[in-house]
Structure 1
């Protein structure tokens, strides 16, 4: 009976309602960031959905998954092309990749899930040894160690795209390679213990990207994660591509170093042959 006498002034009421809605939405965004980001570090929620996935209109922007996904590792020895593979995964699925590390350059330039290692990312970058308690599945990325060590050395002494001076190689390269050999073997033999792992070769992605993307897509499909290969191929390179070195290859790997590296490659090849099928022939071309 009192509703007939209630007078609503649209000039004052509508702005108030609109303001309340904006406040609720803003609080929701703040809450979402704190839930998704394990360190609760402030960053733009808009950035999570603003990155465009290639130039194809049908391809969504990169964002966090709206549902909890299996914990999938993207495991690789440093310098194996992990950043490029993350870019391809994001293009393929439209879902951000995560990382157990925090790289501000990556987070602000194409990898909005950087530092996240939960079920809201399609895969988690890690260079750590295999831990059976952390990951349900794994994509194991492997690259020719001759190229891997060079790439890692460049990153350690510069950044994702730079190149160190000749002096850096003269003073630190030999010891760097010697230490890297044991770590390389230890890393890959540990991850081969995972019961659900997909080996992906960087070399093969360079030679036949479409074929390798199909393998990755099929692997992710078993976890209910959809992918569109056309989206990955629309912008396959990414923005963190390193320029090729003009220094002769023999400068880095003397005859003695090659003998040691080849022995390591044969050891890794034998381990892969026991764990996987039809993959070791890719390693034959690594021997020098």
Structure 2
């Protein structure tokens, strides 16, 4: 696997077999023996899930999502959305030149990690539709007319899934990673208030806080499983970026993704995308008058985050592992 971990500007070549670049932008803890080297095998034996039977809400998703891995390549474009695009959107491959055996590129993330926002940025910059393994009707009607299309007619295909059935349909992958506490909180807000809404304070207090506690435990487990599975078990080229990079250095991070995709984007169009980077699918900040995360939650989240970030660091730069 050729893994590109983009964490800044200073590239370090890794070994002769793989062109792997690691950058020291993000502070990654790397403690000795924190990652079991057989973890990938453990995922294969224990974490594999069949996509075909997913007809009810799982992993924090709700009934608006319909899983369909056999969606056709093209559909009539819906009425214009309220988004102003830098150029008219189109499919990256037409019906005539679409190769049936060509696999699409996955845009992988845990829910709440900025997948929809990155799709928006890519559509603005490239002018190509992005697809999804889900059919979110809100997105379908507002800016993402190729929602539920899962082949190479689209630039990338959104997925929050992991396991062999989720991975096998893709040739390459962009893995978008966000700090688990922020991702879990964002997904809780999405389930309660939609893509840009918020959960009411009462939602955190349901069943004396047990509902929120269980939500955090379940989603933290899913966050770890998804990132570890794609990191260790996907055989294609993988490009890892952090959501925090995308927020604080949008231009550089977006360029790195476009370069990985091998798509030419004129400077004028790219600058237009940066000017319109906010879009309509970024949730505004809201300050709660209480802290929903307990100290026990934060300790558990911190430990899991360190394990995953160490795995990213060690996979990207094996000779840099702390002895």
Distance (Å, rounded) in 1 between the aligned partners of 2:162 and 2:75:
30
Task: Provide the rounded CA distance (Å) in 2 between the counterparts of 1:246 and 1:108.
Answer: 30
Q: 1:230–1:70: structure 2 CA closer, same or farther, 3 Å change rule? A: farther
Give the length in aligned residue pairs. Answer: 234
TM-score (norm 1): 0.74
Q: Confirm or deny that 1:45 pairs with 2:77.
A: yes
Instruction: Tell me how large the CA RMSD over aligned residues is.
Output: 2.7
Question: Which residue in the other structure is 1:266 paired with?
Answer: 306
In structure 2, the CA distance between the partners of 1:197 and 1:41, relative to structure 1 (3 Å rule), is closer
Task: Return 5+ residue gaps in structure 1 as ranges.
Answer: 1-36, 55-59, 281-288
2:278 matches 1:251: no
**Structure 1 residue 158 displacement after superposition:** 2.0
Which of 193, 196, 209 is the aligned partner of 1:161? 196
Taking a change above 3 Å as real, the CA distance of residues 52 and 162 of structure 1, as seen in their structure-2 partners, is closer
Give 2:265's match in structure 1, choosing from 208, 219, 227. 227
Query: Is the alpha carbon distance of 1:207 and 1:120 closer, same or farther for their aligned partners in structure 2, counting shifts above 3 Å?
Result: same
Partner of 2:162, secondary structure, is: coil
2:237 is aligned to: 196
Mapped pair 1:127 → 2:160:
yes
2:61 is matched with which residue? none
Could you tell me whether the CA contact under 8 Å between 1:49 and 1:62 is conserved in 2? no
Shift of 1:128: 0.5
TM-score by length of 2: 0.67
**Higher relative contact order, structure no. (Cα contacts within 8 Å, ≥ 6 residues apart):** 2
Q: Which has the larger radius of gyration?
A: 1
User: 2:115 corresponds to which residue?
Assistant: 82
1:241 counterpart = 2:282: yes
Whether the aligned pair in 2 keeps the contact of 1:129 and 1:190 (CA below 8 Å) is: yes
Separation in 2, partners of 1:98, 1:139: 14
1:270 positional shift: 1.5
Q: Residues of 2 paired with 1:52 and 1:130: CA distance?
A: 37
Instruction: Confirm or deny that 1:180 pairs with 2:213.
Output: no
Tell me, which stretches of 5 or more residues in structure 2 are unaligned? 1-68
1:136 to 171, 175, 179: 171
Per the alignment, do residues 116 and 256 of structure 1 end up closer, same or farther by CA in structure 2, a change over 3 Å counting?
A: same
Give the direction of change, closer, same or farther, for the CA distance of 1:180–1:45 in structure 2 (3 Å limit). closer
